[in-house]
Homo-oligomer: A and B are copies of this chain.
Amino acid sequence: MPESPVIGVVGATGAVGRVTLRLLAERGYEQVRVFASGRSAGRELDGGLVVEAATPEALAAGGLDVALFSVGTSASRELVPHAVRGGATVVDKSAAYRLEPGIPLVVPEVNGARALEHDGIVANPNCCTIPLTCVLKPLHDAAGLASVRLSTYQSVSGAGAQRMEQLRNEPQDEHDLAMDWSWEGDETDEEAKIRAEAQKILELPELPVSATTVRVPVLVGHAESVWVELEDELTPDQATELLAAAPSVRVVDVPTPGAAAQTDEVLVGRVRVDRASRNGLVLFLACDNLVKGAALNAIQIAELLLSGDAGKGARTDDLLAAQRDGVG
């Protein structure tokens, strides 16, 4: 792997793309190329990068070590194969490849080693699945997950920059909750994604996951109200201790989207006994959906891949340590 890799950011002008560029700059990446739709081509972004048109030809022309895609699912389906053909390893943030057999779906803190099994594409999970699995993993390792129920509080930035603008301009009296996703039978596709992706990442294909997803009139940050049933008993104190020790997780009294905004961590708190089950816990979590919920997680996957030759086959913790020491 090159000492100074070339990173392509495809969908650079969107909400997640912009956060991706900020994080890459903060982490010291010097060779970054930015791609977006033909409309934006030629535009100079803050920091001086000039947007290239994300055409199949441009992406297939090579020159990228890693390509971070944050475009819609249909655009990913169309463009990702060209970037792979051009020699890039793609980290795709859309839903296009997440559930495809053989394509790793990765949260570095949870199943980072899977990233190294890729065949050109690694999928980045849904913005609710990432913080959820960061919190579920240590609980599962200690006591075995039997079921998960969750109710989400998702900010409008998850629906794109345009919806953020709309919320800013709408009178306060009209702010309401919404379930503005596509529907798959009696569920939103978001609810179906959270279940299927959590099952794949945790490698628990039969895990019952029951989710209700709700959009709230907050600009940035998602929260989740979660009930877990466990195989073995775990006291709230034991669970809190495990969570405090988990990578990228921070225990706080009351996690909120506002407190999580612009931070790299998953905030979790209010861990207590679920009075409605035998070995059950209730907890609340919050996370910046644009940072750890999207851009940061994808960059962390890229860093696992870039340090992959050294780390292949190693435990996730070692990979993460290598990643922390060897960035840029």
Are the C-beta atoms of B177 and A258 separated by less than 8 Å?
Answer: yes
Question: Which of A11-19, A136-144, A217-225 is near enough to bind chain B?
Answer: A217-225
Are the C-beta atoms of A173 and B214 separated by less than 8 Å?
Answer: no
Are the C-beta atoms of A148 and B270 separated by less than 8 Å?
Answer: no
- Pick from B174, B195, B270, B274: contact of A149, CB below 8 A: B274
- Pick from B173, B216, B227: contact of A216, CB below 8 A: B216
A276 at the binding interface (Cβ < 8 Å)? yes
Smallest Cβ distance from A277 to chain B, in angstroms?
7
Who on chain B is nearest to A187 by CB? Answer: B272
Chain B residues lying within 8 Å of A179, measured Cβ to Cβ, are 254, 270
Chain B residues lying within 8 Å of A176, measured Cβ to Cβ, are 218, 221, 256-259
A186 at the binding interface (Cβ < 8 Å)? yes
Chain B residues lying within 8 Å of A225, measured Cβ to Cβ, are 151, 212, 214, 225
Q: Which of A273-300 contact B (CB under 8 A)?
A: 273-277, 280, 282, 284, 286
Are the C-beta atoms of B212 and A270 separated by less than 8 Å?
Answer: yes
**In whole angstroms, what is the CA distance A172 to B164 when docked?**
10
A-B contact pairs, 18 of them (CB 8 A): A148-B276, A149-B276, A167-B172, A176-B256, A177-B223, A177-B257, A178-B254, A179-B254, A179-B270, A186-B236, A186-B272, A186-B273, A209-B276, A210-B276, A210-B280, A210-B282, A212-B270, A217-B217
Number of A residues contacting the other chain (C-beta, 8 Å)?
A: 49
Are the C-beta atoms of B168 and A212 separated by less than 8 Å?
Answer: no
A35 at the binding interface (Cβ < 8 Å)? no
A175 at the binding interface (Cβ < 8 Å)? yes
How many copies of this kind of chain does the complex include? 2
Chain B residues lying within 8 Å of A177, measured Cβ to Cβ, are 153, 216, 218, 223, 256-258, 286
Chain B residues lying within 8 Å of A92, measured Cβ to Cβ, are none
A65 at the binding interface (Cβ < 8 Å)? no
Are the C-beta atoms of B151 and A151 separated by less than 8 Å?
Answer: yes
Given A175-B217, A176-B218, 10 further pairs, Cβ under 8 A: A149-B149, A176-B221, A177-B256, A178-B256, A195-B275, A208-B275, A210-B227, A212-B270, A212-B282, A214-B284
Smallest Cβ distance from A184 to chain B, in angstroms?
12
A37 at the binding interface (Cβ < 8 Å)? no
A229 at the binding interface (Cβ < 8 Å)? yes
A248 at the binding interface (Cβ < 8 Å)? no
A40 at the binding interface (Cβ < 8 Å)? no
**In whole angstroms, what is the CA distance A259 to B186 when docked?**
20
